[in-house]
Amino acid sequence: MISGYPLELMDGDAAHVPLIWVQAVLGELIKMLGDPKVFVLSILGIQSTGKSTMLNAMFGLQFAVSAGRCTKGAFMQLVKVSEELKKQLNFDYIIVVDTEGLHALELPCRSSRHHDNEMATFVVGLGNMTLINIFGENPAEMQDILQIVVQAFLRMKKVQLNPSCMFVHQNVGDITAGEKNMVGKKHLQEKLDEMTQLAAKEEVCGAECFSDVIEFNIKTDVRYFAQLWEGSPPMAPPNPCYSENVQELKSTILSRASQYKGLTLSQFKDRIGDLWNALLNENFVFSFKNTLEIATYRKLEEEYTKWTWSLRSAMLEIEDKLHNRINNRQLHKVESRDLEKEMAETNEEVKTSMRHYFEEHKERDTLIQWELKFQEKIKHLHWELVRDAKVKLENIIYQREALIKLVGEKTLHERKLLEKSKELALRLKQKGLDEKELKAQFDSVWETWVSRLTGDAKPFDDLNLECDKITIISEIYEEALVRDRLNKYELLYQITDFTTYVNPIRKSWMSKTFGLPPEEQESIQKLLKSIFHKTVNQVSSKPVAKMGYNKSYIQEIAKLVKMNVGNHKCINAQYEFKKEFTVDLTISACQWAGERFAKLHQEFRNTNDPLIYLERKKPEYYSVFQGFCKGAKSVTVFGALICSELKTPILQSAYNKTANDLAGEMRTNIPAFKGNRSNLEKHILKALAEEEDFAKFIKYIHFPRDHFEDFIKAEVKSYITGQNSSALAMIKEKIKHKGQCVITAAETATAKVMNKTGDANMWLEIFSDCLKDELEYSKDHLTGNCCQDITDFELLVEVVKRELPPIIAELNRDLTMPSDIKMVMFREPPDEFLIKHFCQCCWVQCPFCKVVCVNTMEDHLGDHIAPFHRNCGMRGMIYKGTNNLCLSFCTSSVASDGYFYPDIQKEDTVLWKEYRTAGPEFENWSITPDLSELPYWKWFVCRFQADLEKYYNKTFNGCGKIPNEWRTYTKEQAIESLEKYL
């Protein structure tokens, strides 16, 4: 026997020291013993002398025997197996691990709880078998700890553990009371299974009974020990029944151990390291008394999320209101007390809600321990919201005042700049400086001017979206899980098999179907697409470009994901999502939204940050400076500046006008776009048949809206960028027209100013008014730019006529090929315009064959209808009790006397004629009995029979054998049937 190697489990960084030491000792043992095979036996119990006495009697060990913490941490002893026993066993040594008595009085309550939970999990995970020592017949004192052990194992998925256990009831008065013991065993089994199910529900996994987590047989793994002494020690003699019980238990342990292959001492060393690290990383579950307490805490966290959202949304409304006041110049200072006053009502409502929750909840006795903690968290959040809002609004005030100052002083500074430009022009003419030297002179003047103008403007803070994302999501889910998934979350929109993301409600369900069935995979994909579209709409609805980013926007996205996942119901209610699914989806959605918010916030910053604003104006001012340095007159510089400023508005306006004209032209010239959605669908089906691409067919069947949008985008792109496209000519024509509008506006302004003897400012006002319906630009870009001494307006018109054509020519040179057209330049791209026209309608699919309702109203009244339905097997429907895909068409079936199974997992049937009674998804469909069947889909089934069978893992055999008549249809006949019937 080799003994004396303590394993002390400690908290914090100190835990690494004993782990390294223990592994070093084990390393030395491996060198000494040659890495023998071992069997690990652990013992766990509440403070009592029974467990150490039992081990000492069983193996002849020398564990300390006393009340309370008789050992500190876990104490290991190595017991050598005799040569005779080695013939029966697959190992050389038994490692016996004893622990201190749990619920030690020496430790404070909270510290003891955390310590006991860690110790119990460590010991049970370490052992091939664990003896759970209970003093007396009632295991209640161990159940709380075992609940935490079970839940910890469910959480520590990385550590591959296969623990088993036996319960040993010591000091039982009448061990012969068989009937009584059976009742006790049954009660124990019920309690263990109940706590496992509760833990599994919390961790969203499929464990249904205690033995799913820790190997245990209620019939063989519960032992009752007689009292150690006959009478009262120390004078009482030992009880011989106790020794018999010990020997029987030892024999059972060795018999059970003979079934294990054993692990080497080096493998045991690795197991200690893996389990130890897993325990150190688990900072949530060990702080709780039991699984019920964890469930109560989780519900409290859900309420906390609601409270935080109330505060955040209230502050967001306040910010919106005050931002408008700032823009209207009615608010010039923000005080914390004013924000607190605005928040007072909501803050009081939250406090009242919290008070009611803690005082009236049925688990209030459990909740009371966290009341102060959550009150402080809410108080801190309220303070943080007020502080952040104050800083943000003050920054907006500073930026707004800086811009007002900029506008007010711009004329003065530009006049000074103009004067300096003229002075420099006279001086530098004599020196003959080159372009580089002129640029250096301008930069020195520019830097001084910008520094003086923006000296008191506060810079915009950089966004920290990553921090916001972690903070917000961690308010909804456990921070440890969130941080873990941040490094390895999957882009759910890119995967097709979600089997690893779900747990079956009944263990046998998914094993029979080899993963999630296609209809469930499709259901989840639809959920993802729905959430994505809602996220896009949510992002689009936020005024970030006008008001800047707010972290509450990220919280709205996270809440949207959680709500939609929570509302999602699987078709047959056979599975539930793991936490990783919701967290990964939330991270993905928030990541995507964050990237969009960042771009929109940059637009806000570009508009409101004086430094950025002036940097954008720098080329304009340099052109003025450059012109005067070269000896140009003021009117020449001003005219050239006008034309330069209008280059981008002319191009943008040409694109915008072309988009509308192109959409109308395509509605006329592209046959698919000429009629309604039914006509479009007919052309889509024609294209599918011509291409014979099975993947596209599947997308059309299961995700019709996505396929419609893809088809529209492809048609539009082909039309615009094709060799015979008229889009290029249209844009060039619009550019030419906009250029002529500018010249006409200049001539009109000149005529009116000369008639009224006006000045340059009047000319600019008339010029801008003439262009207000033609170009998207603001006259503020030109106001005050070197126009103070302009009087020759006839020359100004000549300058515009001279400077504008080269700019128009440059724009045209950039558009020589159809591929030069930039779709992003369209304010509303033609494909988006057509998608809105054709796709803002009903997309509900038939529950039998998945044909789409043809109603053009999204929320229409009355039933869903479709003129022709399809073969039900092409969407994966099978005949009950077979692997055969269904051949029937909905319209034929509803005219028959047959029946179907609304839920293939159940035996309930419904007559086809009474299909509306089968449930909500059936009752709103009007399927007219009709024996006519579209040949197109018969051709499709025959053409892609092998692909359909592979995709659904089903066959067209037996009841679903395809009739020979179907195989006579050709592709040409299939396409012709579309013209005839659709």
Rounded to the nearest 5 degrees, what angle is found at the Cα of 377, between the Cα atoms of 373 and 378? 120
Question: CA 67, CA 375: separation in Å to the nearest integer?
Answer: 40
Determine the straight-line distance between the first and last CA of the chain, rounded to whole angstroms. 88
CB neighbours of residue 921 within 10 Å:
14
Q: Kindly report the pTM of this predicted structure.
A: 0.57
252 three-class SS = helix
96 three-class SS = strand
Instruction: Judge residue 979's burial from the number of C-beta atoms within 10 Å of its C-beta, 0-12 exposed, 13-18 middle, 19 or more buried.
Output: exposed
Rounded to the nearest 5 degrees, what angle is found at the Cα of 552, between the Cα atoms of 590 and 340? 165
Q: Which of 603, 542, 547 is nearest to 392 (CA)?
A: 547
Partners of 502 in the β-ladder: 577
CA distances from 421 to 407, 435, 784 (A): 21, 15, 15
pLDDT at residue 11 in the model: 34
Question: CA 886, CA 962: separation in Å to the nearest integer?
Answer: 10
Please state the domain extents for the chain. 7-99+117-282, 287-403, 465-608, 617-840, 864-981
Question: CA 68, CA 211: separation in Å to the nearest integer?
Answer: 30
CB neighbours of residue 235 within 10 Å:
7
Q: Are 626 and 636 in contact (CB under 8 A)?
A: no
Give tens-digit pLDDT for 885-908: 999 898 888 888 888 988 776 788
Q: Are 523 and 570 in contact (CB under 8 A)?
A: yes
Question: CA 39, CA 81: separation in Å to the nearest integer?
Answer: 10
DSSP of 181-241: HHHHHHHHHHHHHHHHHHHHHHHT----SGGGTSB--TTTSEEEPPPSBSSSTTTSPBPHH
pLDDT at residue 407 in the model: 54
Question: CA 790, CA 382: separation in Å to the nearest integer?
Answer: 58
Mean pLDDT per segment of 10 residues, for the chain of length 982 residues? Answer: 36 45 78 85 69 70 54 74 81 82 54 72 82 67 72 66 80 56 74 78 72 81 76 65 81 84 83 76 61 75 80 80 74 88 92 91 85 88 87 77 59 55 63 76 76 68 85 84 77 75 65 63 82 84 77 87 79 73 90 89 77 74 74 78 84 82 82 83 93 92 90 90 82 91 92 85 85 69 58 87 91 86 78 81 89 80 83 88 89 87 81 89 84 83 93 89 92 88 63
Q: Are 262 and 38 in contact (CB under 8 A)?
A: yes
48 three-class SS = coil
38 three-class SS = strand
The continuous run of DSSP H or E covering 365 comes out as: helix 364-367
716 three-class SS = helix
pLDDT at residue 776 in the model: 64
**Is CATH 3.40.50.300 correct for 7-99+117-282?**
yes
For tokens 């249904």, what's the residue?
A: 208
pLDDT at residue 108 in the model: 47
Question: CA 305, CA 301: separation in Å to the nearest integer?
Answer: 6
Which is it for the CA torsion 683, 686, 690, 695, positive or negative? positive
Instruction: Judge residue 291's burial from the number of C-beta atoms within 10 Å of its C-beta, 0-12 exposed, 13-18 middle, 19 or more buried.
Output: buried
Phi and psi angles of residue 755, each rounded to the nearest 5 degrees, phi first: -70, -35
Question: CA 711, CA 404: separation in Å to the nearest integer?
Answer: 49
pLDDT at residue 4 in the model: 37
Centroid of chain to Cα 485: 10
Q: Are 281 and 115 in contact (CB under 8 A)?
A: no
Write a three-state SS string for 883-949: CEECCCEHHHHCCCCCEECCCCCCCCCEEHHHHHHHCHHHHCECCCCCCCCCHHHHHHHHHCHHHHH
Q: Which of 598, 523, 524 is nearest to 554 (CA)?
A: 598
What tokens appear for 901 in the block?
Answer: 């199974």
Which is it for the CA torsion 517, 523, 526, 531, positive or negative? negative
For tokens 């993905």, what's the residue?
A: 588
Give tens-digit pLDDT for 61-75: 666 555 444 446 677
Q: Are 266 and 35 in contact (CB under 8 A)?
A: yes
Give tens-digit pLDDT for 274-321: 777 777 666 566 665 666 677 787 788 778 878 887 888 788 778 867
DSSP of 483-498: HHHHTT---GGG-S--
Question: CA 618, CA 602: separation in Å to the nearest integer?
Answer: 19
Question: CA 738, CA 184: separation in Å to the nearest integer?
Answer: 92
